[in-house]
Structure 1
Amino acid sequence: MKLTLGPVLYNWKPEEWRDFYFRIADEAPIDSVVVGEVVCSKRAPFLADHMPAVIERLAAAGKEVVLGSLMLMSLARERNAMAELAADNSFMMEVNDLSCLGMIGDRPHAIGPFVNIYNEATATYFASHGAKRICLPPELPMTAIRAIAGALPDVTIEVFGFGRAPLAISARCYHARLNKLSKDNCKFVCEQDPDGLAVMTLDNEPFLAMNGVQTLSYACTSVINEIGELAKAGVRSLRLSPQQCDMVAVAKLYRDVIDGKKTPAEASAALTGLYSVPVANGFLYAKPGSTFVTNVAEAQRTARAM
């Protein structure tokens, strides 16, 4: 099983963004890295100057570089930018918006977790049009993952393995609205929340996280206890989504479990010391995504019986 580092979803300072990837290149046991601004096109110009150096550093370190496309295209300049990205044959492109498919044709590509692939028929359709790797949406239960992976043995099926789960994308900017600003004059206030802004319930409990135009879970997805079961299901890669924590250490924990150097229990305990946000794995067991299933054996028996 391989490890993929997903794109940075948040609005990090350009130098911080660059240095993060430099460290990933030099220290992290990651096989593939998705780079590029996928959430808000207004952030992309700030990263443009650093992108060539980041890609060069990752490639020189032996990482497979994948170029991520925008999740939602609604403007002419966004379509033009994606057409330019699609025309670059240097690296594989990850499709996060279906309109990208018309730009790349049947050229080999990856599908990101932001595309709704919920069954083997849909996955087979995308595979027939050039998808070589499919990262499934984070809300899928183990039964669906097993069915999709079993139907596509020649496609790398990837599962969202760590990080706040991406749930929705909007044409409206929550951060701008909260700060009484327009989307066109947002002043990039999302930069104030480099790990997302917690959304509280009426009972003052954290529920979701805002990231500009994106909605994420508040809890952090962790499948570190289910790595063995996912491998048996045919999953060939896990995606780690960058958060404000030591992602090199996170990657090493996942790699140690994959390689049998640590037990899932040992790695899970260490993970809580790296990132203070509560962990969740409920989606895998067809339960509310914010829950964390501790009695894994019983939950797996229940899931198989469904």
Structure 2
Amino acid sequence: MQFSLGPILYNWAPEQWRDFYFRIADESSVDTVVIGEIVCSKRAPFFAPHLAAVLERLQAAGKQVLLGSLILVSQRRERRQTEELAQTSDFLVEVNDITCLKSLAGRAHAIGPFINVYNEATGVFHAERGARRLCLPPELPLSSIAAIAAALPHAMVEVFAFGRVPLAISARCYHARIHKLHKDNCRFICDKNPDGLVLNTLANEEFLTINGVQTLSHSVANLLGDIDALKLAGVGSLRLSPQDCDMVGVVEVFRDVVEGREDANGGNLRLSRIYPHAAFSNGFLHGKAGFSYMGPLVPT
């Protein structure tokens, strides 16, 4: 079982962004790192000055690096950015918007969790067109994951195993709207919430998390207790999505459980200390409400 670190979804300060990846390179045992601004194209220029140094540091540490494309491409400027990204020959591109595929025709690439791969036929479609890795959508139950993995013996199948679950993307910026700002003059107000802005219901129950144009779950996906079942289902990699906590520690907890140095209960206790107040969930994998947390699946 391998581990990948998904792209940072939040608007972190450029120096924090750089130092996060430097630490991942120097201290983490993660195998693959997905890098790049995939949520809001307006944020990308802030990180651009540090990108070359981050890529060099990750490669020097032996990490496989993927470049993530935007989740929603809606403007000419974003189409040009996507085309330029696809022309990069040094790194595998992870596709998060289907429009990126045209520019990658005939080239090896990866499929991100924002592409709707819900069945075997779709998985095979992408594999036949050059997909070497597929991170499946986080809402899939184990039965669907197993069926897709069985149909893709030559591709790396990955599942979203830790982090707030990405649920939707919009052309409207929720952060700007809440602060009575226009999207074009948002003042990058989303940087005030490095772990997203919690949205409550009218009954004052924590419900969702807002990240600019993106909506995520309030609960934090945690498939630590389901690793044995995922292995049996043919999953080859677990994706850990960066949160505003010690992600090096998160990687090591998952690594210890996978390699038998820790059981899932002990691992969950460690995760609770690393990321206090997080409400863990694994309901989607069990075919239940996504925010729920169920006991471990029994491998069959």
Could you give the per-residue CA deviations for residues 45-84 of structure 1, whole angstroms, max 9, x where no partner exists?
Answer: 0000000000000000000010000001111111111111
Q: How does 1:190-269 map to 2 (within 5 A)?
A: 190-269=190-269
The answer to whether 1:167 aligns with 2:184 is no
Give 1:143's aligned residue.
143
C-alpha distance in 1, partners of 2:137/2:275?
22
Aligned partner letter, 1:244 = D
Q: Give the stretch that moved more between structures: 20-29 or 264-273.
A: 264-273
Secondary structure, counterpart of 2:118 in structure 1: coil
Give 1:292's aligned residue.
293
Secondary structure, counterpart of 1:66 in structure 2: strand
Aligned partner letter, 1:102 = K
Q: Give the stretch that moved more between structures: 1-10 or 266-275.
A: 266-275
Give 1:129's aligned residue.
129
Secondary structure, counterpart of 1:126 in structure 2: helix
Give 2:66's aligned residue.
66
Give 1:152's aligned residue.
152
C-alpha distance in 2, partners of 1:218/1:50?
30
Aligned partner letter, 1:47 = F
Secondary structure, counterpart of 2:219 in structure 1: strand
Q: Give the stretch that moved more between structures: 23-32 or 261-270.
A: 261-270
The answer to whether 1:9 aligns with 2:9 is yes
| 1:240 Cα deviation from its structure 2 partner | 0.3
| 1:257 Cα deviation from its structure 2 partner | 1.0
Secondary structure, counterpart of 2:8 in structure 1: coil
C-alpha distance in 1, partners of 2:114/2:86?
18
Aligned partner letter, 2:290 = G
| 1:259 Cα deviation from its structure 2 partner | 1.0
C-alpha distance in 2, partners of 1:93/1:67?
5
Aligned partner letter, 1:291 = S
C-alpha distance in 1, partners of 2:153/2:257?
23
Q: What is the percentage of aligned positions where both structures have the same residue?
A: 56
Give 2:117's aligned residue.
117
C-alpha distance in 1, partners of 2:77/2:284?
36
Aligned partner letter, 2:39 = V
The CA RMSD measured in Å over matched residues stands at 1.0
Paired residue total = 299
Give 2:35's aligned residue.
35
Could you give the per-residue CA deviations for residues 238-289 of structure 1, whole angstroms, max 9, x where no partner exists?
Answer: 0000001000000000011111111111111111111121100000111000
C-alpha distance in 2, partners of 1:183/1:103?
28
Secondary structure, counterpart of 2:67 in structure 1: strand
| 1:148 Cα deviation from its structure 2 partner | 0.5
Could you give the per-residue CA deviations for residues 17-54 of structure 1, whole angstroms, max 9, x where no partner exists?
Answer: 00000000000110000000000000000000000000
| 1:106 Cα deviation from its structure 2 partner | 2.3
Secondary structure, counterpart of 1:249 in structure 2: helix
**Moved beyond 4 Å, runs of 4+:** none
C-alpha distance in 2, partners of 1:86/1:122?
21
Structure 2: stretches of 5+ with no match in the other structure: none
Could you give the per-residue CA deviations for residues 199-221 of structure 1, whole angstroms, max 9, x where no partner exists?
Answer: 10111111100000000000000
Q: How does 1:88-127 map to 2 (within 5 A)?
A: 88-127=88-127
Could you give the per-residue CA deviations for residues 60-117 of structure 1, whole angstroms, max 9, x where no partner exists?
Answer: 0000010000001111111111111111100000000000000110211000001111
Aligned partner letter, 2:239 = R
C-alpha distance in 2, partners of 1:202/1:139?
25
C-alpha distance in 1, partners of 2:256/2:270?
12
Structure 1: stretches of 5+ with no match in the other structure: none
| 1:4 Cα deviation from its structure 2 partner | 0.2
Give 2:283's aligned residue.
282
The answer to whether 1:77 aligns with 2:77 is yes
Secondary structure, counterpart of 1:59 in structure 2: helix
Aligned partner letter, 2:216 = L
Calculate the TM-score normalised by the size of structure 1.
0.96
